[in-house]
Amino acid sequence: MRVLVVEDDSLLAQGLIRVLARAGHAVDQVETGIQADKALRTASYGLVVLDIGLPDIDGFEVLRRLRLRHSATNVLVLTARDAVEDGVYGLDLGADDYLTKPFSVTEFEARVRALLRRTSLPAGAVSVGRLTVDVEAKSVRCNGVTIDLTVREWALLELFMARPGRVLSKEQIAQQLSDYDAQLSPNAIEVYVSRLRSKIEAAGVRIRTVRGFGYLWETTDEVP
C-alpha cells in the first residue's frame, strides 16, 4: 500500500515512516498543506496520515479539497494534544479516523491496520455468486440460509472481497490477519483458506489456489 505522511515535525514524521515501512508500505512524506494537496492530485494513495497544524494551508483544508474530488483515500488525522474537538471536526470533513498527539507506536499501528482492513469493502449487503454478504451485520447467507463463520474466516472473507480479481499471497494474508494472531504460519493460512473454501463453494464462490503465488477468489457458474 502506498502511504502519504503529511507532517511538518520531522522527528515525528521519521518515526511514522519507519513504522509504516516496517509494515511493508511504500511511504512518501511532505511537510506542508500545499505540497500534500499537490501530491494527492498527482499520485494515488491507499492512506494519508494527515497532521492538522501545517505551515500553509492546514490539514482540514487538504482534507476538504480531497473529499471535494470524491477521493476514497483513507485519511487518518493527527491532532494536537489540546485540540480534541479537531478530531471530531476532521471526521465531519470526511476523515476515517483520528489520533491525538502524543500517541504510542502500538496505537498508531493498530489504527492503520484497522483502516486498511476495511479498504474498499462494500457497504450494505452485496451478492457474490449465490452468497449474500453483509459486512456491517457480519452476516453471510446462501439462498437465505445462514453460514456460520469464525472470526478468522470472516477476516479472510473480507480480505478476498476487498480485492476481487487479485491474487492474495500467504504473506499478505498473514500480515492482514495479524490482529488475530501474532504469527500465522503458512500452514495455518492453508487451514483457514480450506475451511472457508469448503463453507462457500456450494454458493458458487471458489477460492482457487494459484500455485507459487497464492489464492484467487472467483465466482463460478457451476450449479452444485
Q: Which residues bind Ca ion (CB under 5 A)?
A: 8, 51, 53
Q: How far is the CB of 102 from Ca ion (least distance, A)?
A: 13
Q: Which lies closer to Ca ion via its Cβ, residue 87 or residue 204?
A: 87
- Grid cell at residue 142: 446462501
Q: Which lies closer to Ca ion via its Cβ, residue 7 or residue 158?
A: 7
Coil, helix or strand at residue 13: helix
Q: Which lies closer to Ca ion via its Cβ, residue 11 or residue 137?
A: 11
Residue number closest to Ca ion, CB atom = 53
Q: How far is the CB of 114 from Ca ion (least distance, A)?
A: 23
Contact 64, 38 (CB under 8 A): no
Query: What angle do the packed helices 186-200 and 151-162 form, to 10 degrees?
Result: 80
Q: How far is the CB of 54 from Ca ion (least distance, A)?
A: 6
Q: Which lies closer to Ca ion via its Cβ, residue 51 or residue 158?
A: 51
Q: Which lies closer to Ca ion via its Cβ, residue 51 or residue 96?
A: 51
Rounded to whole angstroms, the Cα distance separating 203 from 136 reads 20
Q: How far is the CB of 40 from Ca ion (least distance, A)?
A: 18
Cβ contacts of residue 147 below 8 Å, gap of 6+? Answer: 131, 140, 141, 199, 200, 203
Q: What is the DSSP letter of 7?
A: -
Rounded to whole angstroms, the Cα distance separating 33 from 199 reads 48
Q: What is the DSSP letter of 202?
A: G
Q: How far is the CB of 51 from Ca ion (least distance, A)?
A: 5
DSSP assignments along 80-142, one per residue: -TT-HHHHHHHHHTT-SEEEESS--HHHHHHHHHHHHHTTTPPSSEEEETTEEEETTTTEEEE
Q: How far is the CB of 220 from Ca ion (least distance, A)?
A: 52
Q: Which lies closer to Ca ion via its Cβ, residue 8 or residue 134?
A: 8
Strands 2-6 and 26-30: parallel
